[in-house]
Each structure stands twice: as structure tokens, then as C-alpha cells.
């Protein structure tokens, strides 16, 4: 029998308050019908966008209103589905909402090509006669920048219509991995049955009993072997869609297309990979520390998630974790800190795992709702860090919508991962300063080291994998399951040189949902690099603190800007230049120093 409760058994206080969006499914239905009609109103402006300044403003404002309403409809449906991915009613609502979003994008697809018929000077002249247009200045600049990669209105409409199809592989993968796949139930050393799930796998691989970890590891990855060809086919077609869409928009590669959206040069991607590869010795040192601490001859893949303490995390109830997180945010000011505390009391968070619930964690919501955080809290230090991480995203959204109009509310992932990781780094500093218990401190240092391993090193490994997968597709080499395993295995061998790389870990790429959003994961690695540099500056006694500069206020100003500027420019507001290797090198230097502290405690 499963130890994971059904949704109906979860205390309401531990669930998110989706009724604050729509009080009932019937109210959602009414909102859906209402905005569906407005989509047609938007489409009626085709061919008139730049007729005059007042018409242009009408188009912008109507587009924003429609997209805001569509976002609410889609967000509610998705989050209801994520509560229980086996619930077919909410699967259906999600599918309808996705179709509506595609219809809205299609209806608005004429706007950007028509805008690109303007020159910069013509837009400035229109803004002079209609001052409200000045709000859209950066947006228009971005649209004009993309002119070489925007097709005719007819082709853009077709591409928008096909978005459901081109994105279908990710939806198929989600249903397969969360709803249709079931993982074995294994006995723990005390004889208790434990069902392996997507959410508890990492936690089970932190258990101190090595043979149990091996059993979990093998059972989990053997389940993936049964769907190996299906997942390979799904990912192959996802990569193929990325490549074809990039070609349709006149890019030389899918990577260039993905990075050009937020205006990030590909050099930033290459600098990250080069800097991490130049510092693989630190990761090898971390692996060797694990081998030594665990007192094993060979570090196996089922040992990698084990803390160097050799045991499970101290038990940490959600309430205590929340308290630690709020206290840790004091360097960002009382207003920020109080707002987080209020959010935790206002059902921002869907806390615990239940049957069928979407695995992992994310921060959701829209411009017109409160933030919502999906978690699968496991009563450990890692879950506390995940809470801090997602609250960073949520507060970024809150501060952005306080200051920016809707058009600038959807900030790029490149900067989003900075906000989440700043919270994690502040939490580490707070815990090391305030908690005396040696075991707890060792676990905190271990968590920091693991976060760098999994966020900076592991995500860069993923970035190398998807870059190579797309390169193979672009050069005409078939993406078979065997070839994908080969690429992934080679990277694992380089990154985890002191460890034993087995056939099962070569299939690990199959369990990474982020690969269905191409060239996304590298931003976790750049994000933690920027975040550690910011925290160095924000902490009163930090290595980068400057008495002549209010680094915390600079950081909050960065958060308030949303997408008002391009990502690299936004980060410069916070004092970080990601066009160089400096933030990455600083992050890896901090990692090395924390490893030294950890080695001393373990010894």
C-alpha cells in the first residue's frame, strides 16, 4: 500500500489557495468563455496596428488585457492538474486552456511583424503624439531587434497555430513520467515498504544503508529502461522541433535562437562551460571527500547523493524551515522579510506530496494573482532550501508587478534564477552564523556544496548534453537511445572522474524534464554564479561589501525592474557582469572554501 496520501487527505492549510483565482470551476468556465470572445476582438485589428498612434495604443492595451486573462485561465487549470496529474477533468481543462493560449498567440501574431514595418524614428514620433506609448519603448526596441528573425504575418500565425504541436513532446513526457509510469515499492532495512516516486528518489538515495540505496537506484533506473525507446523518440522529436523552428526564423542553430530571445550572446554559454571545465578538479575533490567520508573503496552512482555526514538530514518540520527562511532574509530589509512571512501565512504554498501530484517544485501564479508555490516537502534540509528557492521567484514576481506594467512582468529565466539562489545563499549564511549544533552545521555545509554541485556543475553538464544533442541533429546524425546514452555517459565520466559510471546512469538524461525546454538549464548555473556574487556584496561582512554602496537596495531595484531591460543590463544594476567569467570564478572559489570547511568537520 502506498504511504503517499490521496489529495483529499491533505490538510487545507497545507494547500495553495487556488480559490483566490476562481471560486469554482464554473467561474473558471465563465472566464474562459469571456476571454475566448475577446481573442476575436484582438484579431480584428490585423493590418491596422501602425495606422496611427491611437490605434497602436489600442492594440497594445487590448493585447495586454487578453493575455492577462488567458494567463489566469491557463494558470488555474495547470495548477489544478498538477495537484493530481491523473485527474482527467483537469487534464481536459489544461488542454482547453493551452488551446486558448495558442489561439490568443495566433490572434496576436500579426502585431510584431506589423511593428517591424516601423523605423525607430517613426515609433518615437508616434510616442510623442501619444505619451502612453512610451511605456512600450523597450518592448518595441526588442521587437525591432528581432526583425531579421521574424517572418511574415501569415507565417507567424502558422507558427503560433503549430505551437501546440511543436510543444506536444513535453506534454507527452509529463504524462508518461508523472501519470502513467509507476515505480516499484521496495523494503527498507526495517522491512517497511516504500514506494519509489519521482519526488522521493533523491531523498531515498540519501539513506545511510548502502545496499538499500543500491536497490532503490537499480529499481528506479530499470523502470526507465522499459520506456527507453519511447523517451528517446520523444526527446528526438523535441530536438527536431527546436532545430526546425530555429531554421524557420533564420538562425544558424537552435542554441543561437534560444539565447537570442533574451538577448544573451552565445559567448556567455561557452564561457560558463569553459570555466566549469577548468574547475572540474573541485568537483572531483568533492567526490573524493564523499568516498572517504562513506569509507568505501569505489564511489558508485547510488552514493553520489549521500551527504558526507554519512546519514540522513536532521528532521526538519515545515514550520521550523519556514522560520529559518524568513530570518535569513533580514539583509534584504524588513519590508521584503515581512512580505515573505505574510505569504507563507496566506497559503502561497502547496506543501506536501500526494498521489499523482506533479513532481518537483515551481513558483507559479500570474500578474493578477498572488504567487503560488508547488512543493513536495520531505521534512529535510534540502526541502527547506527548495522553499527558500521558490520564495525567491515569488518575491521577484511580487516586486516586479508592484513597479512594472504587465508588458514587463514576465522576466527572463536568466535573471529569475538569480533571485531564487540569492535566497539559498542567504539561508546558508544565516544558518552557519546562528546554529551551533555541529551535526546541523555539517549538513548545512553539505547542502551548500550539494547545491553548487547540482546547480552549477550538474546543470552545466546538462547544458553540454543538450548542446551536443542539438548539434548532432543539426549535422544529420540520428538521435537514437544508444547515441544519447553515449553522449551522456561521456559527460558523466568527465565530471565524476573519481566515481564508477555504470550503464544505468547513462540513461539519467531520460528523467530530466527540463530538456523539453531547450537551452534552459544553463541559466541555473549562471544564476547561482551571479547570486553568490550579489550575496558577497549584500552581507555586511561579505567579501564584496562596500560601505559606500547600498548593495541590498541595488539588488531590490534589480528585482523591481522585471524585464524592463535586457538580462545582462539588469544584472549590472545589481553589480554583476555576466559577460565575463568573474562571477563564475567567484562562485567556484566560494565552493572550494566551503569544501575546506566541510573537510575539516568531516575529519
- Which of the following is catalytic: 390, 464, 466, 474? 390
Q: What is the mean pLDDT of residues 255-284?
A: 96
Q: What is the pLDDT of residue 172?
A: 87
* pLDDT tens sequence across 368-390: 999 999 999 999 898 999 999 99
Taking residues 237-248, report their average pLDDT: 94
Residues 419 and 284 in one domain: yes
DSSP letter at 299 equals B
- Is position 94 within any domain? yes
Same domain, 444 and 531: yes
Residue 346 lies in a domain: no
Domain of residue 77 covers 7-166
pLDDT value, residue 216? 97
146 and 263 in a single domain? The answer is no
> Which of 43-47, 200-204, 263-267 comes out lowest in average pLDDT?
200-204
Are residues 261 and 116 part of one domain? no
Mean pLDDT of 246-267: 95
Last residue of a domain, one of 139, 166, 193: 166
Question: Does 447 share its domain with 560?
Answer: yes
| pLDDT tens-digit series, residues 118-162 | 999 999 999 999 999 999 999 999 999 998 888 887 887 788 778
Residue 47, exposed/middle/buried by CB under 10 A (0-12, 13-18, 19+)? exposed
Does 495 fall in a domain? yes
The cell 481573442 sits on which residue? 39
Assigned domain for 555 exists:
yes
Domain-located, residue 417: yes
Q: Which of 131, 146, 166 is the last residue of a domain?
A: 166
> Under 8 Å CB-to-CB from 135, ≥6 apart: which residues?
405, 407
Residue-wise pLDDT for 407-423, tens only, equals 999 988 899 889 999 99
Give percent above pLDDT 70 in the chain. 99
Environment class of 537 (CB within 10 Å of its CB; exposed 0-12, middle 13-18, buried 19+): buried
Single pTM value for the model: 0.84
Same-domain check for residues 254 and 150 = no
428 and 280 in one domain? yes
d(CA 536, CA 586): 9
Query: Which H/E stretch holds residue 349?
Result: strand 349-350
The phi and psi torsions of 208 (rounded to 5 degrees) equal -70, -20
Find the CATH number of the domain harbouring 84. Answer: 1.20.140.70
Q: How far is CA 451 from CA 294, 488, 539, in A?
A: 19, 21, 20
Residue 390 is a catalytic residue: yes
The pLDDT of residue 426 is above 60:
yes
Is residue 246's pLDDT more than 60? yes
Contacts of residue 184, defined as CB under 8 A and 6 or more positions apart, other chains included, come to 195, 196, 219, 220, 223
Q: What is the pLDDT of residue 2?
A: 53
Question: Is 421 within a domain?
Answer: yes
Q: Are residues 160 and 237 in the same domain?
A: no
**Which tens digits make up the pLDDT trace of 490-527?**
999 999 999 999 999 999 999 999 999 999 999 999 99
> What residues contact residue 328 under an 8 Å CB cut-off, 6+ apart?
388, 423, 426, 427, 429, 430, 431
pLDDT tens digits, 469-493: 999 999 999 999 999 999 999 999 9
Using the predicted structure, report yes or no on whether residue 1 has a pLDDT greater than 60.
no
Examine residue 328 and state whether it is found in any structural domain, yes or no. Answer: no
Q: Is the pLDDT of residue 176 over 90?
A: no
Q: Are residues 149 and 268 in the same domain?
A: no
**pLDDT band at residue 311 using 50, 70 and 90 as cut-offs:** low
Q: How many domains does the chain have?
A: 2
440 with 529, same domain: the answer is yes
Per-residue pLDDT for 66 more than 60? yes
Element (H, E) at 336: helix 334-345
Model confidence at 547, pLDDT cuts 50, 70, 90, reads: confident
Confidence band for 200, pLDDT divided at 50, 70 and 90: confident
- DSSP annotation string for 196-256: --TTTHHHHTT-S-HHHHHHHHHHHHHHHHTTHHHHHHHHHHHHHHHHHHHHHTT-S-HHH
Residue partners of 510: CB distance under 8 A and separation at least 6:
224, 227, 228, 231, 232, 235
- pLDDT confidence bin for 540, thresholds 50/70/90: confident
Claim to verify: residue 65 and residue 146 sit in the same structural domain: yes
Q: Is position 55 within any domain?
A: yes
Domain termination residue (choose one: 166, 197, 218): 166
- Asked whether residue 583 falls in the same domain as residue 451, the answer is yes
**CATH value at residue 593:** 1.10.1370.20
Q: Is the pLDDT of residue 268 over 70?
A: yes
Label residues 212-246 b or e (16+ Cβ within 10 Å = b). bbebbbbebbeebeebeeebbbbbbebbbbbbebb
d(CA 358, CA 465): 25
Q: Between these two residues, 169 and 466, which has the higher pLDDT value?
A: 466
Q: Give the burial string for 89-115 (b: 16+ CB within 10 Å, else e).
A: ebbebbebbbebbbbbbbbbbbbbbbb
The whole-angstrom separation of Cα 336 and Cα 328 is 11
Amino acid at each position: 500500500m502506498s504511504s503517499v496520501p490521496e489529495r483529499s487527505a491533505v490538510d487545507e492549510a497545507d494547500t495553495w489557495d487556488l480559490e483566490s483565482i476562481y471560486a469554482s470551476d464554473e467561474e473558471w468556465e465563465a472566464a474562459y468563455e469571456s476571454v475566448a470572445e475577446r481573442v476575436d476582438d484582438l484579431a480584428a485589428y490585423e493590418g491596422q496596428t501602425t495606422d496611427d498612434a491611437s490605434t497602436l495604443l489600442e492594440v497594445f492595451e487590448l493585447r495586454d488585457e487578453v493575455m492577462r486573462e488567458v494567463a489566469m485561465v491557463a494558470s488555474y487549470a495547470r495548477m489544478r492538474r498538477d495537484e493530481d496529474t491523473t485527474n482527467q477533468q483537469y487534464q481536459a481543462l489544461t488542454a482547453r486552456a493551452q488551446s486558448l493560449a495558442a489561439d490568443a498567440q495566433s490572434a496576436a501574431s500579426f502585431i510584431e511583424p506589423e511593428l517591424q514595418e516601423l523605423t525607430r524614428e517613426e515609433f518615437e514620433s508616434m510616442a510623442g503624439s501619444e505619451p502612453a506609448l512610451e511605456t512600450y519603448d523597450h518592448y518595441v526596441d526588442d521587437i525591432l531587434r528581432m526583425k531579421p528573425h521574424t517572418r511574415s504575418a501569415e507565417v507567424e500565425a502558422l507558427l503560433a497555430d503549430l505551437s501546440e504541436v511543436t510543444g506536444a513532446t513535453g506534454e507527452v513526457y509529463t504524462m508518461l513520467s508523472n501519470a502513467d509510469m509507476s515505480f516499484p515499492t521496495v523494503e527498507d532495512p526495517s522491512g517497511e515498504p516504500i514506494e519509489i516516486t519521482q519526488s522521493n528518489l533523491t531523498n531515498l538515495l540519501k539513506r545511510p544503508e548502502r545496499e538499500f540505496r543500491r536497490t532503490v537506484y537499480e529499481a528506479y533506473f530499470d523502470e526507465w529502461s522499459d520506456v527507453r525507446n519511447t523517451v528517446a523518440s520523444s526527446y528526438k522529436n523535441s530536438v527536431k522541433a527546436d532545430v526546425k523552428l530555429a531554421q524557420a526564423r533564420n538562425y544558424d542553430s537552435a542554441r543561437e535562437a534560444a539565447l537570442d530571445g533574451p538577448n544573451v550572446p552565445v559567448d556567455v554559454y561557452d564561457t560558463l562551460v569553459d570555466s566549469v571545465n577548468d574547475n572540474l578538479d573541485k568537483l572531483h575533490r568533492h567526490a573524493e571527500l564523499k568516498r572517504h567520508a562513506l569509507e568505501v573503496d569505489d564511489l558508485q552512482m547510488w552514493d553520489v547523493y549521500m551527504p558526507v555526514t554519512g546519514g540522513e538530514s536532521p528532521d526538519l518540520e515545515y514550520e521550523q524551515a519556514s522560520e529559518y527562511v524568513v530570518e535569513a532574509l533580514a539583509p534584504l530589509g524588513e519590508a521584503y522579510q515581512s512580505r515573505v512571512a505574510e505569504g507563507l501565512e496566506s497559503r502561497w504554498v502547496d506543501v506536501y506530496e500526494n498521489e499523482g501530484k506533479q513532481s518537483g517544485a515551481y513558483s507559479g501564479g500570474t500578474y493578477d494573482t498572488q504567487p503560488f508555490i508547488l512543493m513536495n516537502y520531505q521534512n529535510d534540509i534540502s526541502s527547506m532550501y527548495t522553499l527558500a528557492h521558490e520564495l525567491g521567484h515569488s518575491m521577484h514576481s511580487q516586486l516586479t508587478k508592484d513597479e512594472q506594467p504587465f508588458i514587463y512582468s514576465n522576466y527572463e529565466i536568466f535573471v529569475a534564477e538569480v533571485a531564487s539562489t540569492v535566497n539559498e545563499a542567504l539561508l546558508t549564511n544565516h544558518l552557519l552564523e546562528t546554529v551551533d549544533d555541529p551535526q546541523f552545521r555539517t549538513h548545512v555545509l553539505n547542502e551548500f556544496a550539494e547545491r553548487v554541485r547540482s546547480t552549477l556543475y550538474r546543470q552545466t553538464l546538462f547544458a553540454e548534453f543538450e548542446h551536443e544533442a542539438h548539434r548532432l541533429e543539426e549535422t544529420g546524425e540520428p538521435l537514437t537511445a544508444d547515441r544519447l546514452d553515449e553522449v551522456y555517459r561521456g559527460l558523466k565520466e568527465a565530471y565524476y572522474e573519481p566515481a564508477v559510471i555504470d550503464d544505468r546512469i547513462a540513461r539519467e538524461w531520460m528523467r530530466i524534464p527540463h530538456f523539453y525546454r531547450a537551452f534552459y538549464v544553463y541559466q541555473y548555473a549562471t544564476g547561482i554564479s551571479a547570486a553568490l556574487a550579489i550575496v558577497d556584496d549584500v552581507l555586511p561582512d561579505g567579501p564584496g561589501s562596500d560601505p559606500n554602496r547600498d548593495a541590498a537596495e541595488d539588488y531590490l531595484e534589480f528585482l523591481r525592474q522585471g524585464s524592463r531591460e535586457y538580462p545582462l543590463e539588469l544584472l549590472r544594476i545589481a553589480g554583476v557582469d555576466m559577460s565575463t567569467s568573474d562571477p563564475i570564478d567567484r562562485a567556484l572559489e566560494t565552493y572550494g572554501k566551503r569544501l575546506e570547511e566541510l573537510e575539516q568537520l568531516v575529519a
